[in-house]
Structure 1
Amino acid sequence: VTLRGDGAGPQSYEAAQKKAFTAVSWNAPTSVLAQRLTNAPTLKDIPGTLFLAGGAPVTVNSAPIAGIGVAGAPSGDLDEKFAQAGVAELAK
């Protein structure tokens, strides 16, 4: 599913996809994964990934099954908040 808000830049779609892919691939929020770049800077070189806040994994029984990626909010913190809200809704 893709939702695009008014005023979202053209780069937002691809960024959101990459954040979702990154979150589900490592079963962790992208904000947490971004912190790992300090010790493993080459992680960012893996094709299709984006280590910026705004990606969250969707899990069932602790296993990642999908990712939610949000991009285009005024800050990564808001992207992350909205991604986590999506995960919470799916968990209901």
Structure 2
Amino acid sequence: ENQRVSVAVVDRNGNTIVTLRGDGAGPQSYESAEKKAYTAVSWNAPTTELVKRLEQAPNLKDIPGTLFLGGGAPVTSKNAPIAGIGVAGAPSGDLDQKFAQAGVDALAK
């Protein structure tokens, strides 16, 4: 969709497996993508859903290494998290989330 994004994939323990920085992606997008992936795999939930949890538990955002913005999606096997995909750099978290979920969907095929 002609967006300038970075993508990160982390394993179940949050260790970075691969990162890709698209042409023109902002310098902050690399680290943001990793944190979104880590957050998604840690809670086995899309980061767009986790943002909603901040209303009841605002201290969640203080956990080191996490980022509660749209763009993180867990990769699961038998409903258990095995990896996380994070995308950052699009003009909205909704687009980042769409791209992260597309990665998860591609792996499910």
Q: TM-score range by the shorter chain?
A: over 0.9
Structure 1 counterpart of 2:106: 89
Are residues 1:61 and 2:102 paired? no
3-state SS, counterpart of residue 104 of structure 2 = helix
Q: Distance in 2 between matches of 1:38 and 1:50?
A: 15
Unaligned runs of 5+ in 2: 1-17
Are residues 1:17 and 2:66 paired? no
Structure 1 counterpart of 2:69: 52
Deviation for aligned residue 1:37? 0.3
Letter in 2 for 1:6: D
Greater fraction helix: 1
Q: Distance in 1 between matches of 2:107 and 2:19?
A: 15
Deviation for aligned residue 1:3? 1.4
3-state SS, counterpart of residue 14 of structure 1 = helix
Greater fraction strand: 2
Q: Distance in 2 between matches of 1:73 and 1:5?
A: 11
RMSD across aligned positions (CA) = 0.5
Percent sequence identity is 82
Between stretches 52-61 and 3-12, larger displacement belongs to 3-12
Structure 1 counterpart of 2:56: 39
3-state SS, counterpart of residue 51 of structure 1 = coil
